[in-house]
Chain A
């Protein structure tokens, strides 16, 4: 909320500088968004009297002025403006002066004539008409009266105001107005608060003779108050009011409109002025809009209304969008003679929905959305009438239309000083507690330790002892709080087992040279097509975000591969030749349409590429992860659409499918702009989390030597190496210590459709050195097994 500091001084003594105030208020809960000092940046600009004007010989528009700037000799300044005459007082920026926009003025020559400065317009000094009369004129600003030449222009123009933008938290709508913030300042500074005038005189008559006010939906409009003002004398509002309005970011229009806006800024209570003569049937009906009704608002836009929107209607049509914006038809214009003045409370969520639905944002609806105090309605109305009276803007008719139920009473909070202090842990003296609350308008009495606090409806946010604690501390000062170490029962901080395991997996992957990445949880739903997922693939059923930032981020991901590939694509495009990446995050799976929270499935994604990487480097990483988790792994052929059909596998951990991995399908890679071979994996961590890793038990180190035997055999080219390995293992039985593939070969000397495979096998017994016979017997068993899968020993 922007507010003029000079204006605030009308309500409260501010005995500190703007800077000091800006330091103190945040500590009481009101942050300063910005502080703008009027005239800041203006240097060496003074009031000058134009002594003589002569035309410039080489120009048809320049004029040469001799000016009195309070020095012994006149100063010559050349200007292009035409609105000046000899004897005028004007702002002159002297040699080496600065204007608010940073312009530096120095002496120079204009078409050969020396000029020792510049005469300034209002705009050049950063002024508008509201700041100083004539400031909006095109041309030089002509100063009022006869200021002493040489006087600093800021002094002459009264540019000593500071506009402070206070940030008002949403629990304190009451502070979002001049009076509210002034009250807070008075408590913070310990100075007096002065309420503005609210009295006025009426001219008799009775409102009932003019208008009939009814509220059809009192739920959405708990209070509606109206007054009549006749014989309007529309004129500009006084400068002080205009300045206050401009400082707060609004535009002055005329005295009546300005009063409604000013009272809103001052009291926080929006008001609306209707042109009485445009109200059909002399009726005001607060009701829901009817299907098909339309309204043209003050800004000339037409809106189609729906029955959930509240309107202020006359006998025929909606005349105002309740709390949001008035209708064009009943607008106050220069020739309006009679006024119906509205001051009401509307329900905040209804105003919010309507404003949101119609895409309108006004100062008024912002305040209704935050919530206005039902008891403040009458005060605001009186303040407005008092201003109408003071400015002689019209004749106030007797009688008030006030449609409402029973007004809320003050909330009574009964608690004890101990209960309040218990939250804070600081011993605030009782008398200080009571005095702070009373100053804040929370009438408090103390009986021993028993506190009774009477909370007016304007401080609806104060509900109990916690709120009282906050009110006391923000004034008493949070600097009184001294940290102390945690007390109480000693607790042991533990991580969830899933996190512990994920951390271990991450460590392993880091040791394997992989970098962890972080990508968004939502993706472009087109990713399913990019990956070429089948029509019936579960992963096509993505949960959509109803209000996404764009298509790109509109669906919750059902896999992490696409994000991984996007990251790899980015890195490749930046000429990064190789990388190992991993990410642990969640994929989302839910029944569509979504009725409940979806499953969040923790997943590990791995992506690698580069000269030294291939299918088996990835398999090695996966095997290491599986081993870490204590899983017994198995690899089977898989059918993942985004992977190379011949270079992919499904990995099973203890017979449960954990995930798939392999080389990215060239067609998918191409779509992503990837021109190199990339390998990705996606592993469901739940499968790994579920595995209990057996605690290792020590086995004695071998005492007897091992026997090494090589097996070279010819098998069908399609025979999986894994099958051969299994055959050897089962043949060797418990004497097997280690098995290692050392050669796979196809080509010359090997029959067509066959391949040569060679393994080294180490056998060892714990009971003694293996004899030749024992070894041979095992080898025979191995060869038997190999023969069974179609293997033929190479001689």
Chain B
């Protein structure tokens, strides 16, 4: 019987080693350890042994059973691991294959830039307002210190809809509406669409976008204007750009300045982009003209203020190096997808 036990044990051992999948190992378990298994059968034959031998033999059989069980379960784990391994290997994907796309849309580049500008000024405490696109002569010109016979009216070609009703040529009109309804301290920006009768070409569009800024308070100086515009320039053009004022003329500001930033392409040394000047003109600004304050019921002897007008389209085309402003209004999907 011992020989038989040993033979079974060895056979089971070998079978366990050779089993190649979970099914075989399960068969093996049934064959040796099951209710009708060979080892179980051996136990059942114990009756034919002497009482002395019975416990010894019983112990031996149980030992063998334990060994086989261990072998089986070990082999089972191994085979399972192997099976998982094989499965994972078989499931390997080619990660260079194209993704299943998530179709995200996106904002128009003009909106992206406008939002960036809004963020900058909002963080400095400016309220963000809107104004009508169709304006009256009163708000677009008269209150902005541009009387009827003023040559400054020749500076901008205006679209008229009726006598004294026009498409606003500048977001500055919003200045007046603000000052009429708010009391200082005033800090507002007004981004929006403006119109000029320019024939369409690579750098001109009859529809374009501006962001007007206005601050009115006691003791506001050109140094505050410079401070605000420096913040803006650093956010938009980079921390290391310099800002300079150049005298200019706008009827609604005095003093009026053109604002330049050092060329972002060459750092101010002079290149093709800045036409060798080292500076790029970015916006017009100035201290609110006393006549403008007065016409809005604000005492220019008590309050001072500054205003600036930023060309959103210009920033957009320079930021993204868009060579033709018409692309902004053509809305080719392949263009829009680049931003």
Partner of B128, one of A496, A517, A594, A596: A496
| A-facing residues in B151-188 (Cβ within 8 Å) | 151-152, 154-155, 159-162, 165, 167, 185, 187
Q: Which residues of A contact B245 (CB under 8 A)?
A: 478, 481
Q: Does B249 contact A (CB under 8 A)?
A: yes
Partner of B187, one of A352, A493, A519: A493
User: Which 9 interchain pairs have the tightest Cβ spacing?
Assistant: A425-B221, A349-B149, A470-B255, A169-B249, A513-B103, A29-B247, A425-B223, A483-B226, A493-B122
Contact between A597 and B165 (Cβ–Cβ < 8 Å)? yes
Known contacts A496-B129, A546-B160: A506-B111 contact under CB 8 Å: yes
Contact between A495 and B247 (Cβ–Cβ < 8 Å)? no
7 residue pairs of the A-B complex, CB under 8 angstroms, read A474-B247, A493-B123, A511-B104, A521-B133, A546-B160, A549-B197, A600-B132
Task: A173-B151, A478-B246 are known; give 13 further A-B pairs, CB within 8 A.
Answer: A29-B249, A169-B248, A424-B222, A463-B291, A466-B254, A474-B255, A486-B228, A492-B125, A493-B124, A517-B336, A576-B333, A579-B333, A585-B193
Contact between A595 and B162 (Cβ–Cβ < 8 Å)? yes
Q: Does B9 contact A (CB under 8 A)?
A: no
Contact between B217 and A488 (Cβ–Cβ < 8 Å)? yes
Q: From residue B53, how far is it (CB to closest CB) to chain A in Å?
A: 62
Q: Does B47 contact A (CB under 8 A)?
A: no
User: How many positions in chain B have a CB within 8 Å of any CB in the partner chain?
Assistant: 89
Q: Does B135 contact A (CB under 8 A)?
A: yes
Interface mask (B226-252 → A, CB under 8 Å = 1, otherwise 0): 111111000000000001111111010
Known contacts A423-B221, A493-B121: A576-B107 contact under CB 8 Å: no
Q: Does A158 contact B (CB under 8 A)?
A: no
Interface mask (A369-382 → B, CB under 8 Å = 1, otherwise 0): 11100000000000
Q: Does A426 contact B (CB under 8 A)?
A: yes
Q: Does B206 contact A (CB under 8 A)?
A: yes
C-alpha spacing A27/B260, complex, angstroms: 11
Give A564's nearest chain B residue, CB to CB. Answer: B331
| A-facing residues in B96-143 (Cβ within 8 Å) | 103-108, 110-111, 115, 118, 121-130, 132-136
Partner of B151, one of A370, A496, A517, A546: A370
Q: Which residues of B contact A482 (CB under 8 A)?
A: 223, 226
Contact between A424 and B127 (Cβ–Cβ < 8 Å)? no
Contact between A521 and B195 (Cβ–Cβ < 8 Å)? yes
Q: From residue B212, how far is it (CB to closest CB) to chain A in Å?
A: 15
Q: Which residues of A contact B159 (CB under 8 A)?
A: 522, 545-548
Contact between A27 and B247 (Cβ–Cβ < 8 Å)? yes
Of the listed residues A26, A425, A496, the one surrounded by the most CB atoms of chain B closer than 10 A to its CB is A425
Contact between B105 and A426 (Cβ–Cβ < 8 Å)? no
Q: Does A518 contact B (CB under 8 A)?
A: yes
Q: From residue B70, how far is it (CB to closest CB) to chain A in Å?
A: 44
Q: Does B219 contact A (CB under 8 A)?
A: yes
Q: From residue B335, how far is it (CB to closest CB) to chain A in Å?
A: 10
Q: Does A137 contact B (CB under 8 A)?
A: no
Instruction: Name the prevailing secondary structure of the B interface residues.
Output: mixed
Q: Which residues of A contact B249 (CB under 8 A)?
A: 29, 169-172
| B-facing residues in A496-529 (Cβ within 8 Å) | 496, 498-499, 503, 506, 509-522
| B-facing residues in A444-499 (Cβ within 8 Å) | 463-467, 469-470, 473-474, 478-479, 481-496, 498-499
Contact between B128 and A493 (Cβ–Cβ < 8 Å)? yes
Q: Which of A268-276, A566-574, A777-785 contacts B (4 or more CB under 8 A)?
A: A566-574
C-alpha spacing A481/B255, complex, angstroms: 13
Contact between B330 and A423 (Cβ–Cβ < 8 Å)? no
Contact between B161 and A514 (Cβ–Cβ < 8 Å)? no
Q: Does A264 contact B (CB under 8 A)?
A: no
Contact between A481 and B223 (Cβ–Cβ < 8 Å)? yes
Interface mask (A585-613 → B, CB under 8 Å = 1, otherwise 0): 11010000111111010000000000000
Contact between A516 and B108 (Cβ–Cβ < 8 Å)? yes
C-alpha spacing A595/B149, complex, angstroms: 23
Q: From residue B47, how far is it (CB to closest CB) to chain A in Å?
A: 56
Partner of A27, one of B161, B246, B336: B246
Of the listed residues B125, B227, B329, B331, the one surrounded by the most CB atoms of chain A closer than 10 A to its CB is B331
Contact between B122 and A349 (Cβ–Cβ < 8 Å)? no
Contact between A473 and B255 (Cβ–Cβ < 8 Å)? yes
Contact between A170 and B155 (Cβ–Cβ < 8 Å)? yes
C-alpha spacing A512/B332, complex, angstroms: 19
Partner of A486, one of B111, B125, B132: B125
Contact between B105 and A469 (Cβ–Cβ < 8 Å)? no
C-alpha spacing A598/B330, complex, angstroms: 27
Contact between A483 and B152 (Cβ–Cβ < 8 Å)? no
Contact between A597 and B134 (Cβ–Cβ < 8 Å)? yes
Contact between A491 and B136 (Cβ–Cβ < 8 Å)? no
Q: From residue B282, how far is it (CB to closest CB) to chain A in Å?
A: 15
Known contacts A423-B287, A466-B289, A547-B159: A491-B221 contact under CB 8 Å: no
| B-facing residues in A310-359 (Cβ within 8 Å) | 347-349, 352
Q: Does A661 contact B (CB under 8 A)?
A: no
Q: Does B328 contact A (CB under 8 A)?
A: yes
Q: Which residues of B contact A96 (CB under 8 A)?
A: none
Q: Which residues of A contact B132 (CB under 8 A)?
A: 597, 600
Q: Does B207 contact A (CB under 8 A)?
A: yes
Of the listed residues A31, A463, A515, A544, the one surrounded by the most CB atoms of chain B closer than 10 A to its CB is A515
Q: Does A581 contact B (CB under 8 A)?
A: yes
Q: Does B309 contact A (CB under 8 A)?
A: no
C-alpha spacing A549/B201, complex, angstroms: 12
Q: Which residues of B contact A561 (CB under 8 A)?
A: none
Contact between A518 and B328 (Cβ–Cβ < 8 Å)? yes
Q: From residue B113, how far is it (CB to closest CB) to chain A in Å?
A: 12
Q: Does A556 contact B (CB under 8 A)?
A: yes
Contact between A423 and B255 (Cβ–Cβ < 8 Å)? yes
